[in-house]
A and B are shown apart, each in its own frame.
Chain A
Amino acid sequence: MARNRFPQDRGLATRMVVTAFLLGALYAVVITALLLAHVQLGLVLVIAVVLLFSQYWFSDRIALFSMNGRIVTPEEAPQLHAVVDRLCALADMPKPAVAIADVDLPNAFATGRSPKRAVVCATTGILRRLDTEELEGVLAHELSHVAHRDVAVMTVASFLGVAAGFVTRFALYSEMFGGFNRRSNNNDQGGGVAVVFVVLLFSMVIYAISFVLTRALSRYRELSADRSGALLTGRPSALASALTKVTGEMSRIPSRDLRHAEAFNAFFFAPALSQGFSISSLFSTHPSLEVRLRQLAHISQQLGQPV
């Protein structure tokens, strides 16, 4: 058995498990509460399931369509295909479809419901700015997302948040419109309003908690993808240099393009954020540049140690 130069990061795995466990616990709490309160939320849950499932099932087409990405053949983009080919052969994974989005924002994303139905997309902006080594690092990061099935994991993880968001909206509407009916022909108006208020409050709290947890999970998945990608190419510093280039360039891009792209941050290699952004790191989908660079430097150091 050959020696293994690529140790696992136990700390990262532990944080991910804890986050996933807290999300699971939140599910349990919500379901128990619903059962205890005898609430009829079947319709809401069905809508949320259908919505998220279709988002998951068509994730490749949705993302490509919204980013205006186009699947390219090896003849059209031999360089990009060659890099993806080599990475897939190194990692022993099926080759995803390769797409290019004609956007000057330097970024790349991977999506698709399974490794067999995955798409890796790079923007013309990133192809223009990065050299082959850096591009390879970025694509290895994206292929790691595919291998880790991050679309599936994040879809499951964000289900509760989406469902809670629905409940909040339903409660608000029924309060606004249904409230009048109750008031005109029902003596028990006080109780109805109170129930709606409780549901509203409860679902808002659930939404807030699951939002924070999902974001935390997303950041850990990013770090995992950085790690796996860096180990695949054996060159963490190339990925680090790509990251600094991409994030440095991004704050200088005009903001119209950025706002257009912000909805797709969860799929992106580095999030597109307008300059002057100051939300606490708790709410971001990606870890900060410093955290990512620190991890890559650590991997680079580990690779250098004799085994």
Chain B
Amino acid sequence: MGFLDVLLGRSKAAQPDLDQLFAVPSAAITLEAGTAFTPTGVGAVCFKSPEGGAFAGLRDEVEKLLALDSGKFDETADAFGFTWLVRHTQPVDVEALVTDLHAANSTIADAGFGPALLCTVVAFGDGSRKLGLVYLFKRGTWYPFAPTGPERRDNALELEIRAAIGTDLKVEEDLTRWFPVYGAPGL
């Protein structure tokens, strides 16, 4: 925020940055080669739906997405009032998954709801453990998130994954922004 914004006590709504989404396929290859994690074919977009007429407007966009290809996307709501649009594809087809997620994100952003976008999650697994790559729209960065149970995460694994994918993805440097998304679809 600039000096004038501080003086006037106003904040501008942060706009999303969608550019980094397409880096996932190469990161998936790196992950498969360096660790045991492979994509599960599940990805999801998370956003906050507003109230009133704006809600109806966003609803229209979401309905359009849900109607695509006879139920390409599923919709779930979480305990914090956020909506998740979930996409299931074949595990091998990461590029198609990312393309669909990007389409969903840009539809929402183009309709003027960019500030409502929270994150996108792409799920990975190695048979026993789960891993999500979380994309923060407002910063255009990724971070790994490895839940191990309710309200528990495996920080060591997350740091290991960061080291593995650091060259493929723009990883969030500020560890305090690696916020947990327990119960995200696919995790």
Residue of A nearest to B16 (CB): A2
Considering only CB atoms and an 8 Å cut-off, how many residues of chain B contact the other chain?
44
Contact A300 B52 (CB under 8 A): yes
For the complex, is B113 an interface residue (Cβ under 8 Å from A)?
yes
Residue of B nearest to A225 (CB): B9
Contact B81 A132 (CB under 8 A): yes
Contact B50 A4 (CB under 8 A): no
CA distance A304 to B57 in the complex (A): 8
Which residues of chain A come closer than 8 Å to B69, judged between CB atoms? none
- Interface set, chain B 53-88, CB cutoff 8 A to A: 53-54, 56-57, 79-82
- Interface set, chain A 141-180, CB cutoff 8 A to B: 144, 147-150, 152-153
Which residues of chain B come closer than 8 Å to A5, judged between CB atoms? 54, 112-113, 115
Residue of A nearest to B113 (CB): A5
Looking at the assembled complex, report how far the CB atom of A261 sits from the nearest CB atom of chain B, in whole angstroms: 24
Which residues of chain B come closer than 8 Å to A104, judged between CB atoms? none
- Chain B interface mostly: mixed
When A and B form their complex, what is the total count of cross-chain residue pairs whose Cβ atoms lie within 8 Å? 137
For the complex, is B19 an interface residue (Cβ under 8 Å from A)?
no
- Interface set, chain B 1-29, CB cutoff 8 A to A: 1, 5-11, 13-15
Contact A236 B51 (CB under 8 A): yes
Which residues of chain B come closer than 8 Å to A132, judged between CB atoms? 79-81
CA distance A15 to B118 in the complex (A): 33
CA distance A203 to B33 in the complex (A): 75
- Interface set, chain A 203-253, CB cutoff 8 A to B: 220-221, 224-225, 227-228, 231-238
Which residues on A are within 8 Å of B, measured CB to CB? Answer: 2-6, 8-9, 13, 16-17, 20, 74-75, 78, 82-83, 85-86, 88-92, 94-95, 132-133, 136, 144, 147-150, 152-153, 220-221, 224-225, 227-228, 231-238, 300-301, 303-307
